[in-house]
Structure 1
Amino acid sequence: MTRFEADTSRERRKLFADAVVAHRNRGSAFLTIEADRDPDLDGEDAPGPWVQFSDKTFNMDVTDEELDRLKDLLSSFPEFRIDQLESPEEAEGTNVRITARSDANRLAGFADEVFQAVYGRAEDYRAWVVAI
C-alpha cells in the first residue's frame, strides 16, 4: 500500500477524508478516486469505476441499474441530493452530479459506500486517490 491507495474500509475512508481536506486546502479543481477494475463487474476491457468530487459536488457515471442503487443509497444520506442527470445519446449510461454539503468524514463514507453499494465492489476492494 502507498499513501494514495487503501484496501480496507477504515483505511479507504481515512484516505478519502484526507483527500477531501487536501482538495479543499489546495483549492484544486477536483479530486478523483478510482477502484480496482473487476472484469466480472466492469466487462473485459472497461476501466474500473471512478468518483470525482469538486467543491460540494460528486460526479460519477452509472448504468441504469447502478443509478437505481445510487438512489437507494442516497436515502441513507438525506443531506445529499441529485442535482443533474445527463444521458447523451452516444453514451451507454448516465452522468450524475450530487450536491453533498458535509464534513470530510461523511463525504469519505459516501464515496466508500458508492463503490460497494452502487458499483458492486467487495468489502476489501482497493481504491486509489489519483488526482487531488
Structure 2
Amino acid sequence: MTRFDADTPAERRELFANAVAAHRERGSPFITIEPEPTPAEAAADEEDLPEDAPEHTIPWIQLAEDTVNLDCTDAELERLTNLLDEYPEFRIDELTSPDDAQGTNVRITARADPDRLGGFFDRVFRSVYGRDEDYRAWVVEI
C-alpha cells in the first residue's frame, strides 16, 4: 500500500479493499480505519470532554481476520442492523455493553473478499455514522 487516505466514494472503497488485502497478505493482527473528525468531534478533543460522550467520539472500524469490530450508540446500532440486511453473508456475533460505557461494541463475522468489505466499510461510515459523501478516511493501522 502506498496511499493511506481517500475522500471520494470510489477512492475510499479502493483504499479499504487494499488495506484488507494488505492485512491478509501480511498476516497483521488487524487494520483500523477512521474518518476525519467532524467539527463537533474536533472541538471535543480540544475541550477534553469525557471519551465516552458518543456524539463526540470519532468512530472507527477494525478488521481482524474475518471479524469486524466497531462501537455504536443505540441509534447507530439500529442503523447497522438495518444495513446488515443488505449483507446476508455478514452476521453479528457479539454485542458487549459495559456498564461504564455509553454504547455497544459490535463484533461481526464478515467472510468476504476485500472489495465487498471495502464497500461495507464505506457504507458503515455513511449510513451508520452519518458521514457525508465526501468525507475523508484514513487507514491508521495495518
TM normalised by structure 2 equals 0.88
Q: Shift in Å at residue 44 of structure 1?
A: 3.8
What is the CA–CA distance in structure 2 between the aligned matches of 1:43 and 1:92, rounded to whole Å? Answer: 19
Aligned partner of 1:30: which letter?
A: F
SS across alignment from 1:120: coil
What is the CA–CA distance in structure 2 between the aligned matches of 1:51 and 1:101, rounded to whole Å? Answer: 16
What is the CA–CA distance in structure 1 between the aligned matches of 2:88 and 2:122, rounded to whole Å? Answer: 16
* 1:77-100: CA deviation from partner (whole Å, max 9, x where unpaired): 000000000000000100000000
* 1:38-94: CA deviation from partner (whole Å, max 9, x where unpaired): 134x58413421100010010000000000000000000000000000000000100
1:11 matches 2:21: no
2:82 maps to which of 72, 88, 110: 72
- Give unpaired runs (5+ residues) of structure 1: none
Aligned partner of 2:38: which letter?
A: D
Q: Shift in Å at residue 130 of structure 1?
A: 0.3
What is the CA–CA distance in structure 2 between the aligned matches of 1:7 and 1:43, rounded to whole Å? Answer: 18
Give the 5 Å matches for 1:30-109: 30-40=30-40, 42=41, 44-45=43-44, 46-109=56-119
Paired positions, count: 130
What is the CA–CA distance in structure 2 between the aligned matches of 1:14 and 1:123, rounded to whole Å? Answer: 15
What is the CA–CA distance in structure 2 between the aligned matches of 1:62 and 1:47, rounded to whole Å? Answer: 10
Task: Provide the identity percentage.
Answer: 61
TM normalised by structure 1 equals 0.94
SS across alignment from 1:33: strand
Partner of 1:22: 22
- Give unpaired runs (5+ residues) of structure 2: 45-55
